[in-house]
Structure 1
Amino acid sequence: MASLRRVVACVSSAAIRLFAFIFLRWIPGYPFGPIVLTSFGIYLGTLSSLLNDDPPSNPKPKKGGEKSGRTSKDSIASQPRDSALKTLLTGLPSRRSRVWTWTTALINAVLALMTLDFLLRGFWIYPTDEVAFSRIGYVSPTTANLLFREPDSSHLPVVVSYQEAATTASEIWVPEGTVYKLDNSTDFTAMVTLKNLKPSTHYRYSLSNNKTGTFITSARPGSPAASRLSFVTSSCLKPNFPYNILNHPLRVPGIEQLSEVIGKLPTLLRPAFMLFLGDFVYIDVPLRFGSSVSHYRSEYRRIYSSPSWAATSDAGPAIDLPWIHTLDDHEIENDWSKGNKTAPYPAAADPFIHYHVSANPPVPASPFAHPDNVTYFSFINGPASFFMLDTRTYRSEPAQEDSTILGYAQLQSLLTYLLTPEPAGVHWKIIASSVPFTKNWRVGTTDTWGGFLNERRTVFEAMWRAERELGIRIILLSGDRHEFGATRFPDPALGLTSEGLQPNTAGFGLHEFSVGPLSMFYLPIRSYRQTDVEDVAVKYAPDGNIKFGIIDISDDVVDVDLAAPSPVPVRSSVLTYSLYVDGEVVWQYRLSVPVERDAGVKAAPKDRAISHLPPGEVVEDKLVTESWDVAAKIMIGRIEEFAHFLIDKGTALYEGVSGNVEKTVRVD
């Protein structure tokens, strides 16, 4: 029978290998790292004890020439025959060979060291206090927000200048301003707005501390160029994941791959900006080291210290792509729903404001709150109008009758925005949310809009009304889930038959495209499925560590009703969503808005005449929907779903019982 020490050694060795794999290649979160290191400590202790007990493999002859009853050869032969494979697989010491013993121990030691390296190297060796950088945020036809950080006082004052990129660098630069003071109150950051720019023009900027970059202003409203817009969207990034010991600890492969993809696109199709939908930093992954302002600031500095920003392509360095940001939970705390006063939110908000809000678009025209206290934004670029939601700062506890994900002021601002007509030439309202609108994700549903269904219904009713009355189309963009899911939400007034509400079909309705991560883990299980006819699944793609969507809007002539015997060609504004997974286009989807207000209505059948918007259309699909492992992944997803259901029910039962007991005590 195996001794207790050998059982402990075998179990601790298995724990090291299993949880190190999960931690370094699958989910880099708590508590996997500490489990690996604790298991390694236990393994070393038991291994040392076992080695001290084991007889040497080549015993020396006894002194005085005394003969032993058995030869050394016979002694070895009588020992259990530990194979090399058994030793390498179990981590147990071999009674026959110290070489295999030290080899299997070395495997565990390397895994523990890699875990420790992933946990600490970026944090301790790269505090990044001295990082200096510059980037462009929101760009309009005549302005551009330039954010920079300069902690070295010897470089002050910082003079900001710009010029058209078509000119030679030696020609006159236009001075925009001078920053004389930078201090710790803003973590040595400053935002300068470059003004009096020309629409659709390529510029370069220069700072006196040797930071430079380029950008292109957006098109003048009403101009021919304003009929086209391309931008990229994603969410969630973590340096050096999946872990690679040879990588720089701050390398972000997703940024490099995105830069490479953009560089291969035709100039006309290159994105104007990145709409990044939250989890730019992971304060609690792989391990939370603190909750102070300095801890949160250091995480932002680490991302901006990444060598991946220097990745270049035909489109230029990665840092030259303008980024605009929404906030999500890992920039605060996982599944945050405790408002903007409870710790650690105030500490988390500090760097988000300095590094992102300061360079973001303006607040909505009707924010229903003081602009200085608003973290939701609105802007127009070409044929699209945008509203960037903050679904973390103002939310309350989910899954309650009066739960709010937006808060009163933001909800009123969004409803006002939805029902306000757009200027001529703007055919799309694009709503950006850090968490998905759909409740089709069956695990963690309450952290999404699925935990705020009453408010979601209020918002959807306003969206359906806007589509019917304003001659525009509404698109929902989201992130957070580390998976891709396309969902449509048909207006009940359309009266669609069951055929038009089947899962995995293109068709009518509000459309949501939820994508992530830009560079992070994904779960190789299936957690998304349609359960009713409110949220109709269009496409689901869970796999891939690097996922992003490129959205292109342009004018074209399309058939507004492909099901009709004679489709009607109509001049339309066409939106094409291209899903990229690990650098390749795997799925494309097209939606359109007839430019002539009544064209879609005239072309649609009578039972759909209430909608002037044609159905969506799959343009390309390279995703494999069935493979040998799909059934297993679906089963694991169902098990996880059921486990969450039991936990929720148990928690509710406990709270109900404890509440009744407390009530009884109070009455007595």
Structure 2
Amino acid sequence: MVSLPQVAVVASSAILRFAAFVFLRWIPGHHFVPLISTALVVYLSSLFALSRSTGDKPVADRKDSKHPQNDPTRTPAQGDVIKTLLTGLPSASSPLATRFTTLVNIVLALLAFDFLLRGHVLYPANDLALSRIGYVSPTTASLLVREPDPKQLPLVIFYQDETQEDVSQWVEEGAIYALDEATDYTTTVTIKNLNPGSNYRYSLSNNHTGLFTTAPLPGTQSANRLSFLTSSCMKPNFPYNPLSHPLRLPGIEKMTEAMNKLPSLFRPAFMLFLGDFIYIDVPQRFGSSVSHYRSEYRRVYSSPSWTASQDSPAINLPWIHTLDDHEIANDWSKGNTTDPYPAAADPFVHYHVSVNPPIPPMPFASPENTTYFSFIHGPASFFMLDTRAYRSEPAQPNSTILGSAQLQSLLAYIARPEPAEVRWKIVASSVPFTKNWRVGTTDTWGGFLNERRSVFEAMWRAERELGVRIILLSGDRHEFGSTRFPDPTLGLTAQETLPDTAGEGLHEFSVGPLSMFYLPIRSYRQTDNEDVAVKYIPDGNTKYGLIDIDLRDERVDTPSGKSVVVSSSVLTYSLYVDDDVVWKYSLSVPLPGFEAVAVAANPPSRHPLLPPGKVLEDKTDPDSWDIMVKTAIGQVEDVVRGILRQMTDIRDRILKAERLD
């Protein structure tokens, strides 16, 4: 008869192993560490109770001439070994198997604690010395500096044009005479009087150096081109590797390696990072003070992954940041005065806002209370939203995700005519605009649909009247989803709004994580003709988008149905999973003169439409249900076969060792 301690051993062992696997490889949720700890205590206690109830001497040690202990063909012992390895139950005939399976469970718990604590305890990063480039304009570059060692002060900043023939000639920008704990020993320096579209190097007197490239001068030929990266969400050493540095960020290394393989013309000008730079509450919140938040930023910037590439380190890429929930608290919607927001905002301001782009010309709020930004780089104008600091409770009649001032500033930006060379308005949000994600929908713009409708109506109107195209970028979901939002005035047919189709409308590209878990469940699906699914790619611990804008001839269908070739500004979105491109999509804006070509072909009854999007490349497998099910079954079979092979091998080794004894 099965005893209660036996049930407890089997149940606690199974829970511990499953929880440890999920925690270390799938989702590092904060519930798993207490669960693993409790399961280990129950397992060891139940194991001890079983050993007391069966006596001090195991059955295997009793002399029995009918079943000699050293008989290599003894099948009951083989079955006991397999059962012990799979269930965690002690084996009366194989003490070595019992010790081994107990050790496995203890090691799994220790690995979970190693992932939780090693980086936090051993790497406070108080002595971090840092320099990185933030926002770069045609004539300026913002430099963030951290130096906690007072012996390095005053800290002198130099810069030099890379084309300078005399490498010993440096321009002194200035000196930093004091740094203190009030800003976590950080400050910003603006390097001025630079030449547009030029490569520079900078050097500090504490031996920190770096490279940067200024933005092109508006109206020039080079201002027609732009490449940049976008992603979100990263957590050091996940998926967990016990042999890895606890602060390593594999996604940064993979991205850097992939970008270094590109021709110099296609190298990104900056990274638009859309939130969750730190995870203060994953896998465990150790506190909510300013010092706790600051230490998380320092650990990320202390990662060896920033300088893993010797030729072109990731730290040389300018990063521009938005704020999201895990930099405050999960699904944050309590404004910017409720704790712990003030503590969370402190390092975000010092490490990111201080070198972010300028605030919009019309912020409709005092500058010190503004954490949304706007800038122009080449052919694109950007508005970077803060969807956390000003939002209210979602899914209410008057819910706001932006707050009044930011909403008015965004609407003014959307309606603003742009310079002639700017043909793209890019709006960046930390959370997705689409409501197609069916899990946690209210934490996205799906919880603020009235405000979303007001923003979309302004965007559709701008596309009709200003001759620009508006692109939406977002992160947060640890998956990739591309969605289009057709203008209702276009009168698209049901066929034109089917799921997984390219076509008309505002386009959103939502991507993440850069280095974190992805959801093992499928949570994105189209439910109406408002949010039309273009592409959904959930898998991959490292995902990021490379956006390239350039001028080239495009074949465009006119309202008459004829096809003409026109010069266009073309945006190409390339989705990377790890270091490979798996999907490409293009959108275009015909340059002035297209209307005349279209009218000559056949006078239209209304303004010519912006051309529909086009899928250029798709390396993903078909995602029909039969293929998905077959793939899942095949993966399960492979895993089971591998486990059985390993168990058989371990069993044979244990039996061999016991025969030798």
Which fold has the larger relative contact order, with Cα–Cα distance below 8 Å and residues 6 or more apart in sequence?
2
Moved more, 607-616 or 215-224: 607-616
Query: Which residue of the partner structure matches residue 19 of structure 1?
Result: 19
In 1, Cα distance between the equivalents of 2:620 and 2:193?
A: 46
| 2:109 maps to which of 108, 112, 115 | 112
Contact 1:578 1:589 in 2 (8 A): yes
Q: Shift in Å at residue 524 of structure 1? A: 2.0
| 2:548 maps to which of 528, 549, 552 | 552
In 1, Cα distance between the equivalents of 2:605 and 2:315?
A: 46
User: CA-to-partner distance for each residue in 1:239-293, whole Å, 9 max, x for gaps?
Assistant: 0000000100000000000100110001100000000000000000011100000
| 1:523 maps to which of 519, 525, 528 | 519
Query: Which residue of the partner structure matches residue 51 of structure 1?
Result: 51
**Structure 2 counterpart SS, 1:568:** strand
Query: Which residue of the partner structure matches residue 437 of structure 2?
Result: 441
Q: What is the RMSD computed on CA atoms of the aligned residues?
A: 2.2
Query: Which residue of the partner structure matches residue 138 of structure 1?
Result: 135
| 2:390 maps to which of 381, 394, 411 | 394
Contact 1:143 1:193 in 2 (8 A): yes
Query: Which residue of the partner structure matches residue 5 of structure 1?
Result: 5
In 2, Cα distance between the equivalents of 1:602 and 1:351?
A: 55
2:329 is the counterpart of 1:329: no
What letter corresponds to residue 495 of structure 1 in structure 2?
G
What letter corresponds to residue 294 of structure 1 in structure 2?
S
Query: Which residue of the partner structure matches residue 180 of structure 2?
Result: 183
Mapping 1:478-497, distance limit 5 Å? 478-497=474-493
| 2:300 maps to which of 303, 324, 327 | 303
What letter corresponds to residue 427 of structure 1 in structure 2?
R
Q: Shift in Å at residue 610 of structure 1? A: 3.9
Shift of the 601–36 alpha-carbon distance from structure 1 to 2, 3 Å rule, reads farther
Query: Which residue of the partner structure matches residue 383 of structure 1?
Result: 379
**Structure 2 counterpart SS, 1:206:** strand
Contact 1:588 1:620 in 2 (8 A): yes
Query: Which residue of the partner structure matches residue 98 of structure 1?
Result: 95
2:616 is the counterpart of 1:614: no
In 2, Cα distance between the equivalents of 1:185 and 1:98?
A: 59
| 1:591 maps to which of 587, 594, 599 | 587
In 2, Cα distance between the equivalents of 1:44 and 1:603?
A: 83
| 1:274 maps to which of 259, 268, 271 | 271
In 1, Cα distance between the equivalents of 2:310 and 2:452?
A: 41
Moved more, 182-191 or 70-79: 70-79
**Structure 1 counterpart SS, 2:329:** coil
User: CA-to-partner distance for each residue in 1:359-399, whole Å, 9 max, x for gaps?
Assistant: 00000000000111100000000000000000000000000
In 1, Cα distance between the equivalents of 2:149 and 2:156?
A: 14
Moved more, 558-567 or 252-261: 558-567
**Structure 2 counterpart SS, 1:336:** coil
Contact 1:526 1:634 in 2 (8 A): no
| Unpaired runs of at least 5, structure 2 | 634-661
Q: Shift in Å at residue 46 of structure 1? A: 1.4
Q: Shift in Å at residue 38 of structure 1? A: 1.6
Shift of the 58–587 alpha-carbon distance from structure 1 to 2, 3 Å rule, reads closer
Query: Which residue of the partner structure matches residue 470 of structure 1?
Result: 466
Query: Which residue of the partner structure matches residue 644 of structure 2?
Result: none
Shift of the 173–248 alpha-carbon distance from structure 1 to 2, 3 Å rule, reads same
Shift of the 512–57 alpha-carbon distance from structure 1 to 2, 3 Å rule, reads same
What letter corresponds to residue 46 of structure 1 in structure 2?
S
**Structure 2 counterpart SS, 1:560:** strand
**Structure 1 counterpart SS, 2:103:** helix
Q: Shift in Å at residue 426 of structure 1? A: 0.3
Q: Shift in Å at residue 464 of structure 1? A: 0.4
In 2, Cα distance between the equivalents of 1:58 and 1:477?
A: 65
Contact 1:227 1:382 in 2 (8 A): yes
Query: Which residue of the partner structure matches residue 649 of structure 2?
Result: none
User: CA-to-partner distance for each residue in 1:153-205, whole Å, 9 max, x for gaps?
Assistant: 11111111100122257422111111111001100001000000001110000
**Structure 2 counterpart SS, 1:551:** strand
In 2, Cα distance between the equivalents of 1:514 and 1:557?
A: 28
| 1:149 maps to which of 123, 137, 146 | 146
Shift of the 528–632 alpha-carbon distance from structure 1 to 2, 3 Å rule, reads farther
Q: Shift in Å at residue 52 of structure 1? A: 3.3
In 2, Cα distance between the equivalents of 1:577 and 1:78?
A: 60
Q: Shift in Å at residue 515 of structure 1? A: 0.3
In 2, Cα distance between the equivalents of 1:333 and 1:608?
A: 52
In 2, Cα distance between the equivalents of 1:71 and 1:607?
A: 100
Query: Which residue of the partner structure matches residue 447 of structure 2?
Result: 451
Query: Which residue of the partner structure matches residue 509 of structure 1?
Result: 505
User: CA-to-partner distance for each residue in 1:334-383, whole Å, 9 max, x for gaps?
Assistant: 00000001100000000000000000000000000011110000000000
Q: What TM-score, normalized to structure 2?
A: 0.91
Mapping 1:222-371, distance limit 5 Å? 222-312=219-309, 316-371=312-367
Query: Which residue of the partner structure matches residue 654 of structure 1?
Result: none
Contact 2:566 2:594 in 1 (8 A): no
Shift of the 231–605 alpha-carbon distance from structure 1 to 2, 3 Å rule, reads farther
User: CA-to-partner distance for each residue in 1:224-244, whole Å, 9 max, x for gaps?
Assistant: 000000000000000000000
What letter corresponds to residue 491 of structure 1 in structure 2?
D
Q: Shift in Å at residue 74 of structure 1? A: 8.3
In 1, Cα distance between the equivalents of 2:69 and 2:510?
A: 66
**Structure 1 counterpart SS, 2:563:** coil
In 1, Cα distance between the equivalents of 2:121 and 2:568?
A: 54
In 2, Cα distance between the equivalents of 1:233 and 1:52?
A: 60
Shift of the 417–604 alpha-carbon distance from structure 1 to 2, 3 Å rule, reads farther
Q: Shift in Å at residue 133 of structure 1? A: 1.1
Query: Which residue of the partner structure matches residue 663 of structure 1?
Result: none
Contact 2:77 2:94 in 1 (8 A): no
| 1:626 maps to which of 598, 623, 626 | 623
Q: Shift in Å at residue 311 of structure 1? A: 2.0
Shift of the 607–534 alpha-carbon distance from structure 1 to 2, 3 Å rule, reads farther
Moved more, 171-180 or 408-417: 171-180
Q: Shift in Å at residue 57 of structure 1? A: 4.1
Contact 2:559 2:604 in 1 (8 A): no
Contact 1:79 1:95 in 2 (8 A): no
| Unpaired runs of at least 5, structure 1 | 62-69, 636-668
Contact 1:164 1:202 in 2 (8 A): yes
Query: Which residue of the partner structure matches residue 654 of structure 2?
Result: none
Query: Which residue of the partner structure matches residue 658 of structure 1?
Result: none
In 2, Cα distance between the equivalents of 1:404 and 1:362?
A: 24
In 2, Cα distance between the equivalents of 1:601 and 1:493?
A: 20
**Structure 2 counterpart SS, 1:83:** helix
Shift of the 606–351 alpha-carbon distance from structure 1 to 2, 3 Å rule, reads farther
**Structure 1 counterpart SS, 2:272:** strand
Q: Shift in Å at residue 634 of structure 1? A: 11
Q: Shift in Å at residue 42 of structure 1? A: 1.4
What letter corresponds to residue 336 of structure 1 in structure 2?
W
Q: What TM-score, normalized to structure 1?
A: 0.90
Contact 2:385 2:429 in 1 (8 A): yes
Shift of the 169–137 alpha-carbon distance from structure 1 to 2, 3 Å rule, reads farther
2:376 is the counterpart of 1:374: no
Shift of the 116–398 alpha-carbon distance from structure 1 to 2, 3 Å rule, reads same
Contact 1:524 1:633 in 2 (8 A): no
